[in-house]
Structure 1
Amino acid sequence: MYKKFIKKFFLNPIKSIINKYYKYIFFYYKFYKKIPLLKDNRFQCNWKDLHPCLSDATATTGFDFHYIYHTAWAIRQIKNFSPQKHIDIGSSLYFITALSAYIHVDFYDYRPVKITLSNLNSQKGDLLSLDFDSNSIESLSCMHVIEHIGLERYGDSFDPQGDIKAISELKRVVKSDGRLFIVVPMGEVSRIQYNAHRIYSYELFTSYFYEFKINKFSFINDSGNFIEFASPHDTYNQKYGCGCFELQKKS
């Protein structure tokens, strides 16, 4: 009985802690041994400045498949379109800052961002009530945004139809023959993962854009593969892919 008590309440917890933190224990031991070499009169090297990064020694560099691919895709598509100016509603800051390197970008977000860069103008905007005339915008993007509208994730009000209202506003402001670059989570089945996002089927999402033709559809599947020239079939058997659309408003 005594041995079982010792094992359960002392040995097992200690073993668990060692298994969990052995990398850190080994790290601190190695650091102690290397202090004389690190102190070479160029830098200070103190225990208080330790900043262990123990999960970065991977065989390949990891990345977020959705955000790396869809932003690279959009920049290429907009470059090919070559508008005079581009307007973005709430997309990735990495996207708008990179895009502004070669084209003027007006960026609008419900939570405005304070970024100071040439060719980039940032303002507060409400996707449910855009302050633009109808049929006035040549080039517009809204990527990985509408799936969140009305689900309260970012402090917005609850509205189950928020995404449809946002889509209506985007469609309203694009001019004839203008382009709308839009990205949403996409899978075989339309579903809501409250309060994170909606996931659309290809058929449901495209049904909202009968006034537009699809110039290009690309897809990032569940395995992280980027399919530049995708078809609806590529979304089948997928749970959380990423659909990238270049849409052109019909005259």
Structure 2
Amino acid sequence: MKKFKKIAILLDQIGVNPVNAFFFLRGLPVYIYQLFKAICQSSGWAIRIFPILTDKYKEAGSINSQYFIQDLYFASIIFKIKPIRHVDIGSRIDGFISHLLVFMEVDILDIRPIKSGIKGLNFRQVDIMSKHGLSTIDKYPSVSCLHTIEHFGLGRYGDGFNLQGWKAGLENILGLVEYSGFFYLSTPIGRRRIEFNAHRVFDPKELIEYTVSSGFKLVSFEFLDDANIIKDNLEADFSEIIYGCGFFVFQKI
């Protein structure tokens, strides 16, 4: 199943989606039948062909994805704390960031450009693996980086190649947190590896040790297992997890 998923992702990048193709062909006979009925019964409405044949086979929405769960998880924490200022590095704008914008302004840093006229969304283009340009950025009481650190240095998003890029990026992110401030981190966890150039999968204990050694304490740790069930056992055998997601909350001390 995992090999099929990788093949499907690869084909999708060149414009071939085998899953959509299957459901398109499955829905085509019904579409043709209904099209002729629509033409016969149009009652003066102009009929133009615009086939959408795959939506009927999908669920009403995706509420069991790592992104959906993590975005709600961290947004609810930040809503309760209500920091004066918040900066995010690379997280999903149409999920987590949009949740935060409901109740606060958000500064975001990303290596890729974005055009935004959204009130309260302040963007700055930065390569977080480099210290260049970071000296002019203030420290924040609240900093987040969700499902992003796993990509640093793999070149997927136009960043420079550096297999240790996650350390350089994490070091710079931690430097943005003011004293007593909070840092919110999520990233894939499981059997430690690089799936080039998609992402890394971390051993969560390595991330905790690195961050704690940089002057932070671990406030909380929970994770999604392969079934997307939230658990909180730091002593779990993470080598048995294929592709989970760790939820970390740190505080600078």
| TM-score bin, normalised by smaller chain | 0.7 to 0.9
Q: Over residues 52-101 of structure 1, what are the superposed CA-to-partner deviations in whole Å (9 max), with x where a residue is unaligned?
A: 2355354x643461110111111111112211011111110122122112
| Alignment match of 2:151 (pick from 123, 141, 148) | 148
Q: Percent identity?
A: 27
Matches within 5 A, 1:165-244: 165-187=168-190, 189-210=191-212, 211-227=215-231, 230-234=232-236, 236=238, 237-244=240-247
Rounded Cα–Cα distance in structure 2 between residues aligned with 1:135 and 1:216: 25
Rounded Cα–Cα distance in structure 2 between residues aligned with 1:26 and 1:72: 38
Rounded Cα–Cα distance in structure 2 between residues aligned with 1:124 and 1:18: 40
Say whether the 8 Å CA contact 2:27–2:53 is kept in structure 1: no
Say whether the 8 Å CA contact 1:65–1:224 is kept in structure 2: yes
- Quick one: which amino acid aligns to residue 87 of structure 1? V
Q: 1:150 aligns to what SS in structure 2?
A: coil
1:64–1:195: structure 2 CA closer, same or farther, 3 Å change rule?
farther
Report the TM-score, using the length of structure 1 for normalisation: 0.81
| Alignment match of 1:33 (pick from 16, 31, 37) | 37
Q: 1:51 aligns to what SS in structure 2?
A: coil
Rounded Cα–Cα distance in structure 1 between residues aligned with 2:226 and 2:242: 7
Shift of 1:177: 0.8
Of 106-115 and 160-169, more deviation after overlay is shown by 106-115
Tell me the C-alpha RMSD between the 2 structures.
2.5
Shift of 1:241: 0.6
1:55–1:235: structure 2 CA closer, same or farther, 3 Å change rule?
farther
Q: Over residues 104-163 of structure 1, what are the superposed CA-to-partner deviations in whole Å (9 max), with x where a residue is unaligned?
A: 111111112112222211121221226246982211111111110111111111101100
Q: Which residue of 2 aligns with 1:84?
A: 84
| Alignment match of 2:134 (pick from 131, 134, 152) | 131
1:101 pairs with 2:105: no
Q: Which residue of 1 aligns with 2:75?
A: 75
Q: 1:158 aligns to what SS in structure 2?
A: coil
Say whether the 8 Å CA contact 1:86–1:140 is kept in structure 2: yes
- Quick one: which amino acid aligns to residue 118 of structure 1? K
Q: Which residue of 2 aligns with 1:21?
A: 25
1:44–1:190: structure 2 CA closer, same or farther, 3 Å change rule?
same
Q: Which residue of 1 aligns with 2:165?
A: 162
Q: Unmatched 5+ residue regions in structure 2? A: 1-20
Q: Over residues 8-33 of structure 1, what are the superposed CA-to-partner deviations in whole Å (9 max), with x where a residue is unaligned?
A: xxxxxxxxx99993431232123223
1:40–1:180: structure 2 CA closer, same or farther, 3 Å change rule?
farther
Shift of 1:235: 5.8
Report the TM-score, using the length of structure 2 for normalisation: 0.80
Say whether the 8 Å CA contact 1:133–1:173 is kept in structure 2: no
Rounded Cα–Cα distance in structure 1 between residues aligned with 2:210 and 2:22: 55
- Quick one: which amino acid aligns to residue 36 of structure 1? C
Say whether the 8 Å CA contact 1:185–1:199 is kept in structure 2: yes
Rounded Cα–Cα distance in structure 1 between residues aligned with 2:124 and 2:137: 19
Q: Over residues 210-245 of structure 1, what are the superposed CA-to-partner deviations in whole Å (9 max), with x where a residue is unaligned?
A: 121121222111112234xx1224563211011111
